[in-house]
Amino acid sequence: MQGLTSALKLVDPFIVALTGIASYYLRFGDLALPVSYMTALLSAFALTLVMFEAFDVYRGRGMRNSVVNLLTAWLAVFVALVVLMYMTKTGAEFSRQWVGMWTVLAFIVLIAARVGALWLLGVAYTRAGFGRRIVIAGAGVLGREVARRLRESPSAGFNVVAFFDDNPTLRSSDIEGIPVQGTVDQIKDIVRSLPLDQVWIALPLRAEERIKLLLRDLAPMNVEVRFVPDIYGFTLLNHSVKEVSGLPVVNLTESPLTGLKGALKWLEDKVLAILILLVIWPVMLVVALGVKLTSPGPVLFRQRRSGLDNREIVVWKFRTMSVDQQPMPGLPQARKDDPRVTRFGAFLRRTSLDELPQFINVLLGDMSIVGPRPHAFWLDEFYLDKIPTYMLRSWIKPGITGWAQVCGWRGETDETWKMEMRVQHDLYYIENWSLGLDIYIILLTLFRLRSPQAY
């Protein structure tokens, strides 16, 4: 799979440039491109190299995420080109039909290149016998998980031919459609007699001495050995393997928004927040007037909530409850037909218009546009012991909208399982963050502003 990723990084910019040339031929019937068109193609070539990396096009976290990231990255290239044309006052030199044709054709060919590459890899690995033949030492939970994941990723090019395990009850059985051919000690005999490429060790961490003996037996043989650490029983968040000062280090829990990704997220929040506020300020004025005219009290409601690293932030919202009935620690969350909510406030909650002032929170740096929703501190304390992974949400800034919200897990969490589902979706977002996923969530939010769970 790494080879495929490297190939696509090399091929994608050329696809963008060549589809631009093909679109010019389809539009004008010749290949004598003017200098302005050649400049645009070269700019697109360079932007593709940068934007596709920034939008995690090559991360490989499932086909849907790959397509979403690819689409948003290509649209980002297109928008950047339009901005360049505007800044250089050259937009009038380009055919709009050519631009439109190029945009669609490039995306189609980029998708086709990925589908074709995956198909060719599948044929090579499964039919032509180019896949690496491996055996797995350990047929327990970890070994089975390894076999399952490799089977679900045929493009990775691994063919698991056998398990080896010391458990006598597993002898001569099939697990995941793969035979258990003997004990761990017998692996060295199989390596001698069969054309194997790799041995994967998937034994529990407590089997340290067993692993040392196996490595000693395999050392003189011409076979690659890989060790899969038994970390899946731990609470993991954005885990990875790195080398620090020559030492292999397994990161079990870390924020995905560090370094360049953190800078991209910061830039995304600031730019989008400014643009959105420039568009919605008339709506905010109308809503503020409506709040003031329909019930006595302030227009804005400020609530202490938990933010990044569980630090206190003050979240702004348009007031939706009577002044003497605002949520306080120990009081229940807003529920359907809640008497504390004003009539105009109920409308604001249903349409999510009460959240608009939080774009100011984004500019102040307390929140992001996309992220886990900020909860009141008493809610955090309530669920802290009930859901072990609950506080992992605070590894990134809370958001105005989020993956849990667009998937329907918003509103009252009157049962623990509802909060568990929200947390699962929040952690999925943290694990799989990309600019493309953020844009996808923002677009979904526009179509799901009204929600039956918002009251």
pLDDT value at residue 398: 94
| Helices and strands per DSSP (H, E), number in the chain | 14, 12
**Per-residue pLDDT reduced to its tens digit, 198-234:** 899 988 878 888 888 888 888 878 788 888 887 766 6
- In CATH, the architecture of 132-233 is 3-Layer(aba) Sandwich (3.40)
Q: What percent of the chain has pLDDT over 90?
A: 24
Q: What pTM does this model have?
A: 0.66
Q: 182 — alpha (psi -120 to 50), left (phi > 0) or beta?
A: left
pLDDT value at residue 423: 92
CB 80 within 8 A of CB 16: no
Residues 6+ apart with CB under 8 A from 354: 287, 317, 318, 319, 320, 345, 348
**What is the end-to-end Cα distance of the chain in Å, rounded?**
47
pLDDT value at residue 452: 56
Structure tokens belonging to residue 113: 């290149």
DSSP assignment letter at 203: -
Give the largest Cα separation in the chain, rounded: 86
Instruction: Give the DSSP H or E segment for 251.
Output: strand 247-251
- Concatenating the DSSP letter of every residue in 42-104 gives HHHHHHHHHHHHHTTTTS-S-HHHHHHHHHHHHHHHHHHHHHHHHHTT-GGGS-HHHHHHHHH
What radius of gyration, in Å, describes the C-alpha atoms of the chain? 27
**Per-residue pLDDT reduced to its tens digit, 279-316:** 999 999 999 999 999 888 889 988 889 998 889 999 99
Sign for the pseudo-dihedral over CA of 203, 208, 213, 217: positive
Q: Where are the domains of the chain?
A: 2-126, 132-233, 259-447
pLDDT value at residue 105: 93
Q: What percent of the chain has pLDDT over 70?
A: 86
